[in-house]
Every structure is written in structure tokens, then in C-alpha cells.
Amino acid sequence: MVYTCQRRSIMQLFEDKPRLNVCAPMVRYSKGAFREVLRDYNVDVAYTPMILADVFKASEFARQDYTTNDTDCPVVVQFAAHDPIDLAQAAQIVAPFADGIDLNCGCPQKWAYKEKIGAYLSDRPETVREMVRAVKAAAGDTPCSVKIRKHPTDPRMTVELVRRAQMMGADWISIHGRTRHQKSTEPVDYDIIRLVKESVDVPVLANGGIFSLADAETMYSRTGVDGVMSARGLLKNPAFFAGFEHTPIECVEKYVDRAFAYGTPTAILHHHVMYMMESQMSAVERRSFNCLSSTSAILDHLYHYYGIQCI
């Protein structure tokens, strides 16, 4: 990890900019090369993928999965944990190399729930309270946040969770407006997001269903939040916060160049390019692209079909 630049205060951003554009944490995808590209297209803050705190604090090899540099700023490192001590130790290690530390209380995957992390914590506000306390004690002046989902059955539990987190010093809250059981195609619950915003005195970010500036505007008008987070929307079009309706070719070029420089695995490169170009590909082009299995083949395809010259 290399991070020598002056931190850009996320809390100052909340004060200076009434609406923040945020890249949500994405398993495998919100890594360094992609985060750098997003910053060229009006993304204010970017999260890392979810990192297991107990593994991160115990393994030097695991810590190598998080890379950053002076252009990756501000960056929020997201941890998943069920033990405050593990979380505190991981936070202490990463604090000099991050602008914020986030506790994942919303991962909906079954394996995460069985491990007592992610959305498992939505029923355990006291545990979340202790975890936030531990991070604040261990990470110095690095801000701490909590990312949650709508509680499956009781909105009062959602409110209790965020109030306990704020009580222990959480600097902002992020909420996804669906439960862990809901599909991404189901509507986002604006009412629960608005309720969270009205229940705390810290900034609130909203997540879920943000694919365009119009979606963001709807979220703001319905909830009054301080910023919006996007995951799948940015995968499809990393430039939509900058007003582009489709991924511009220059954005693809930038990503491929940086992914190549970072040594991004071919599978990740392939998926990113597919997400970005899918809406502009014909059925024949998609079938052809899906068969590519090497970085050189991907580069040849992009040049042949789109005139994209990378590297």
C-alpha cells in the first residue's frame, strides 16, 4: 500500500458539496484501476470491495489485495467483521492508507450471513455499536461509517441500528433501500431511506437503483439524502455521473490501459469491458467477446470492432 498524499477529507466534501457521487463497494470490481477511471467522471468518493477484517489483520498476503496510490483519493476501505477486536486491528493497519473505514452491515449473500457478517448484523445494533466504538478508538482521525440494508421486517430495527452507530461516533451512514431477501429488480424503498435520513444527524448516502442522473434526482427528491451510491450502474456506464448516457469509448480505453498497468486478471478485465460495452454490442459481437480468454484477444477485439487502441 502506498499513500503519501494529503488526505482529502470526506467530511469536508459533505460540507462543500450538497450531493456526493459515490462508487459503492463491489466484490472483485471496485478495485484500484476502476476507481481511478471513475474519478475522471465526476465520482467524488470510491469504496473498495468488501474485505474480511479477520483475514486482513492476520495475513500479509491478504493485505496485498488492497492497493492504493496518490490518485486514489478519497478512498473508503470497507470491512466485514463480527468481532470488534478483529475490526479494530484491521482498521488500525489500514488507517494510514485510507480516507475512511466502513463497516459492512448489509452484504446479503448466504455465506456471509452464516459467517455472522454483513446483513447478519442488522438484528444486532449493540454489536454494531461496539464495532464502531472499536474503530473510532483504533483508527485515529480516520472517519468511520456504516453501510446497512433495510431490515427485512421491522423499520424500527433499521432506525435503532443507525442511531446506535451514530451514538458511538459513526461519521456517516449508507443505506441500501432493499432487504437482503429482495432481488435487484424489485423497487427501492424510498420511505425507509428517508426515515433513516430523518433519524440521524450525520450525512446519509442512499444505495439501490441508481443507473443515471435521473435516478439520482429521483432519490434526492424522495429522500433528502446527502449523496447517492451506485454499483451496477457504474459497472454499465462509469461515466453516467458526468452526464454520459452510454460509456464513452475514451472511458473504455482509460480502463483497459490502467487495468493492464495494474496487472488486472484477464477475467476481471473481460467482465468490466463486457459491462461497459454490452449495450453497444450486437448479439454477434457479444457472443464473440464472451469466447475471448486472454488479454491480447480482448485488445484485438476492441481494436477490430471499435478502433480502440490501448496500451
Binding residues for FMN: 25-27, 78, 147, 176, 207-209, 231-232
Residues 92 and 90: their CA atoms lie apart, in Å, by: 5
16: burial class by Cβ within 10 Å (0-12, 13-18, 19+)?
exposed
- Residues of the binding site: 25-27, 78, 147, 176, 207-209, 231-232
Residues 290 and 274: their CA atoms lie apart, in Å, by: 8
Contact between 186 and 206 under an 8 Å Cβ cutoff? The reply is: no
Residues 61 and 104: their CA atoms lie apart, in Å, by: 22
**Nearest in space to 119 (alpha carbons), one of 170, 196, 127, 24:** 127
**Nearest in space to 228 (alpha carbons), one of 212, 209, 207, 199:** 207
- Grid coordinates 439501490 are at which residue? 208
Measuring CA to CA, how many Å separate 32 from each of 46, 64, 163, 228, 251? 10, 12, 32, 20, 15
Cβ–Cβ contacts within 10 Å for residue 252, how many? Answer: 22
What secondary structure letter does DSSP report for 18? S
Catalytic residues, by residue number, are 107
Contact between 233 and 240 under an 8 Å Cβ cutoff? The reply is: yes
Please, what is the Cα angle at 202 between 76 and 140, to 5 degrees? 50
CA atoms within 13 A on the CB side of 160: 12
Q: Three-class SS of residue 172?
A: strand
Q: Would you give the distance in Å from CA 226 to the centre of its chain?
A: 16
Residues 132 and 145: their CA atoms lie apart, in Å, by: 8
**Which residues are 149's β-sheet partners?**
176
